[in-house]
Amino acid sequence: MKVFLSLISVCIILFSCKKEVIGKENISNSEAISFKANSSSTDSLYTAVYLPTSTTKQIVKHQYYTLSYNEKFEQAEWVAYELKATYLKNNDFKRPYFIEDPKVTTGSADWRNYKNSGYDKGHLCPAGDMEFSKNAYNDTFYTSNISPQKKEFNSGIWNRLEQKTRYWAEKYNDIYVVTGGIPKDSDKKIGTEKVAVPKYFYKIILAKSGNEHKAIAFLIPNEKSDKSIYDFVVPIETLEKMTGIDFFPNLKNLKSSKAF
């Protein structure tokens, strides 16, 4: 009887230790493959299981970023990529022309839709984040990786957020970024292919230490703004409700905050 009671006590103790940790990874080893093409999980903190869900089921993988293309609005609903501190270079690469993405089966929008539209061809995965390699840099000039942005927004607060993202890459050594516009049927359209002009753009930055994660999320109107980027911090849940996307389906209880 004493042995039996001892076994019960041990089982209770073991069970009580299995408390859920906020932001802890819920991933099996068999799923831990890199989300980048031509790469392995051994050189990356962030694997394919970090990818958001896709509402369109058209996921396109480039060497250093992955996107989900939305043919209805002729742009990516999200672009996801890893940004390492070692990627932060200042190479003076010549800017190539934007071209259609050959990997988008429905065909990405022609760059001429933006011509004389009054809107910038706003990068989602910034070319400035990929200056460590000429090929990586050139890969950001697919039209699947751009969205119509007002010039004052693109060169202003959005640029400030991109610079801050690079600061966080240096701070944490390796981060994961998900970004995109939030187009709606009612949005203004440009060009013959009716490329939607999102009223809002979002960016989520995730940092990992061991199995623990922390994140910060932003939702910014496609307008000129002199406000601090921190005025636009929102819960990830807000973005998920607006987009219908589960941004981190394999992370339990991940919360975002200004304390990043």
Task: Give the residue with greater pLDDT, 24 vs 251.
Answer: 251
Write down the pLDDT at residue 210.
Answer: 85
The confidence band for 36, taking pLDDT boundaries of 50, 70 and 90, is low
The confidence band for 8, taking pLDDT boundaries of 50, 70 and 90, is very low
Count of other CB atoms within 10 angstroms of residue 5: 9
Percent over 90 (pLDDT), the chain: 78
Instruction: Give 108-139 as a DSSP string.
Output: PPPGGGGTTSS-EEEESS-GGGGTT-HHHHHG
- What average pLDDT does the segment 156-174 reach? 98
| CATH class label, 23-243 | alpha beta
Structure tokens at 166: 């690079």
Structure tokens at 73: 């609005």
pLDDT at 12 over 80: no
Catalytic residue among 123, 203, 208, 213: 123
d(CA 214, CA 260) in angstroms, rounded, equals 7
Task: Give the residue with greater pLDDT, 33 vs 77.
Answer: 77
- What average pLDDT does the segment 220-231 reach? 98
Write down the pLDDT at residue 25.
Answer: 44
Phi and psi at 151, nearest 5°, equal: -55, -45
By the 8 A CB rule, do 186 and 139 touch? no
The enclosing H or E element of 70 equals strand 66-70
Q: Which pTM was predicted?
A: 0.85
| Residue that is written with structure tokens 């989900």 in the block | 68
Task: Give the residue with greater pLDDT, 73 vs 19.
Answer: 73
> Is residue 62 annotated as a catalytic residue, yes or no?
no
Domain edges within the chain: 23-243
**39-69 confidence digits (pLDDT tens):** 444 478 899 999 999 999 999 999 999 999 9
The set of residues, in sequence order, having a beta carbon less than 8 Å from that of 163 and lying 6+ positions away, is: none
Q: Is 135 annotated as a binding residue?
A: no
| Residue that is written with structure tokens 């010549």 in the block | 94
Percent over 70 (pLDDT), the chain: 84
